[in-house]
Structure 1
Amino acid sequence: MTLRARLLLAQAPLALALLLVGVVAVGTLSRLGRAGPRVLQDNYRSVLAAQEMMAQLERMDSGALFIIAGERQRGLAQQAAQRERVESRLRVQEGNVTEPAEDAATLRLRLAWRRYLERYEGFLAQPSQEGARAAYFGGLEPAFQTVMGAARAILDLNQDAMVRKSEALQRQSARVNTVMVTAVLVAFVVGVLASQSLTHRALRPVSVLSQAVRRLGEGDYAARAVVEGRDEICLLYTS
């Protein structure tokens, strides 16, 4: 092996160590990158569904108030437009249960929505404005508060989960940073030590010849250099 090849080989441990750290870093960062969207994917749909459901329920309640105020046609049109939207958002939530207590909360929301619709039908069936007012404050408005509370519970549950997952992701990122810095330092030290060892072995014939030449220069004509190998230095010595 030539001296040049041996010197290049001496740098291989450092290059290999840095390459290994780079591969690990890319893999770790890739996993962290995929973890971020999962936080949104798991909970954001439920958050959005709950927010939209609450807004639509408030419009239905406003429709009931229009009816009480004597604007029956306007109230009927407004509440009718929201029913299917609420049902659609509720079905989205039922298909996106991701947290441990979310299934029970979703069932409570479904039951509260069903009771609210029953109260609304009873409210709409009132023949007089006074009867509608009594039905609203006696049954519809409490049912509205119940279904709003159930939707808010879904919203709070998923928002809290997003905060927890975000904090966990930040802690994981901090741990990864610490591990990566430590790994880079260890890899650098190990690579440098290994490279120094191989470089020393590669240049040892030069050191041996240098010592022999120095002794010859001092008048020690019996000095000999024992050099083994087939690189340029060894060939120069044997020639």
Structure 2
Amino acid sequence: MKKNLRSQLLASHILTAAVMLSVMMGAVFSLFHLGGSIERIVQDNYKSVEAVLRMNEALERMESAANYFLAGASDRARIQFETSAQRFTEAHRTEANNITEDGEMQMSSEVESRFDAYVRDMRRLMDASSPMPPRDAYGLYKARLRPGYDALKARVHDILVLNQNAILRADARAKAEAQRASWLAMAGTLAALLVAAAISIGMVRSALTPLLDIAARADEIGAGKLDQHIEADRTDEIGVLAGAVNRMAARLREARDAEERRVH
């Protein structure tokens, strides 16, 4: 297959573009893969965070219901408590079905057991079939309900912090990976540029060295040294030029020989 300088230069440019495209595609793939992984992590943790916030809100309303009851608004207290307890249960079910972090399952189980104990004490307080004297009701609240509420809320908060920290770690990891991908992309681009430079230098040398040789031989021919011959084993433009110089030298030798024969 005949090759010329144009096709060789085009091939070198295509190779350089292919190297740089590979680097860019690698960086893009890495970022997309990272983005998908981080997005899944954040979505899972955010789902747990939302559930825990609903649990916390429901828990505060249950505590408020206890205060309403102690203040004498028993009917309102019972309705608010039952509604809030149902909301807490639903939110906790969402969180328990979305365990993502080490230790979260144990925390969730502890929340469930503490919540069950808290609900039992609240229903004992609000039992309409066997009303407590105010002094006993307040004693139960102070001895069991308030401490149970505080312990339960603290454990719910622990789950919240656990998932929030996971989101922060995912964010930090995403930033670190993005920075690493940027450095890799820059390193790859630099490598591609070095490859392109090496190819360009090789092409220049491939073209310039024989051209300089042809120019030197042409100078020799111009100085009268007509026995010059350039090895022309190339099929590109340089080979064509070398062949033309060889033919010119041959014609000049023939003309010189003919002139010498005529003179003698």
TM-score (norm 1): 0.90
Structure 1 residue 63: Cα displacement: 1.1
The C-alpha deviation readout for 1:18-41, integer Å capped at 9, x for no partner, is 122112111111122213312312
RMSD, aligned CA: 2.0
Structure 1 residue 236: Cα displacement: 4.5
Corresponding residue of 2:201: 196
The C-alpha deviation readout for 1:37-76, integer Å capped at 9, x for no partner, is 1231231111111111011100111111111111222222
> Contact 1:66 / 1:74 at 8 angstroms: preserved in 2?
yes
1:180 and 1:238 mapped to 2: Cα distance? 47
Structure 1 residue 205: Cα displacement: 4.2
> Contact 1:66 / 1:72 at 8 angstroms: preserved in 2?
yes
> Contact 1:10 / 1:199 at 8 angstroms: preserved in 2?
no
Corresponding residue of 1:40: 42
Q: Which amino acid aligns with 2:167?
A: M
Q: After TM superposition, list the pairs within 5 Å mapping 1:20-169 onto structure 2.
A: 20-125=22-127, 126-169=131-174
Q: Secondary structure at the match of 1:219?
A: coil
Structure 2 unaligned segments of length 5 or more: list them. Answer: 245-264
1:201 and 1:167 mapped to 2: Cα distance? 50
Q: Secondary structure at the match of 1:11?
A: helix
> Contact 2:68 / 2:77 at 8 angstroms: preserved in 1?
yes
Q: Which moved more, 1:203-212 or 1:113-122?
A: 203-212
The alignment status of 1:180 with 2:182, answered yes or no, reads: no
The alignment status of 1:12 with 2:14, answered yes or no, reads: yes
1:26 and 1:161 mapped to 2: Cα distance? 25
Residue 226 of structure 1: which of 222, 231, 238 is its match? 231
> Contact 2:35 / 2:174 at 8 angstroms: preserved in 1?
no
1:3 and 1:187 mapped to 2: Cα distance? 22
> Contact 2:23 / 2:188 at 8 angstroms: preserved in 1?
yes
TM-score (norm 2): 0.82
Structure 1 residue 197: Cα displacement: 0.9
How many percent of aligned residue pairs carry the same amino acid? 26
Could you list the runs of 4 or more consecutive aligned residues of structure 1 that deviate by over 6 angstroms after TM superposition?
A: none
Task: Report the CA distance shift for 1:174/1:46 in structure 2 as closer, same or farther (over 3 A).
Answer: same
Corresponding residue of 2:249: none
1:81 and 1:225 mapped to 2: Cα distance? 100
Q: Which moved more, 1:39-48 or 1:91-100?
A: 39-48
> Contact 1:122 / 1:135 at 8 angstroms: preserved in 2?
no
Structure 1 unaligned segments of length 5 or more: list them. Answer: none
Task: Report the CA distance shift for 1:59/1:95 in structure 2 as closer, same or farther (over 3 A).
Answer: same
> Contact 1:13 / 1:195 at 8 angstroms: preserved in 2?
no
> Contact 2:65 / 2:77 at 8 angstroms: preserved in 1?
yes
Q: Which moved more, 1:121-130 or 1:78-87?
A: 121-130
Task: Report the CA distance shift for 1:90/1:61 in structure 2 as closer, same or farther (over 3 A).
Answer: same
> Contact 1:59 / 1:79 at 8 angstroms: preserved in 2?
yes
Q: Which moved more, 1:199-208 or 1:4-13?
A: 199-208
The C-alpha deviation readout for 1:191-226, integer Å capped at 9, x for no partner, is 210232134324554333223223323333232222
> Contact 2:111 / 2:155 at 8 angstroms: preserved in 1?
yes
2:184 and 2:207 mapped to 1: Cα distance? 34
Corresponding residue of 2:254: none
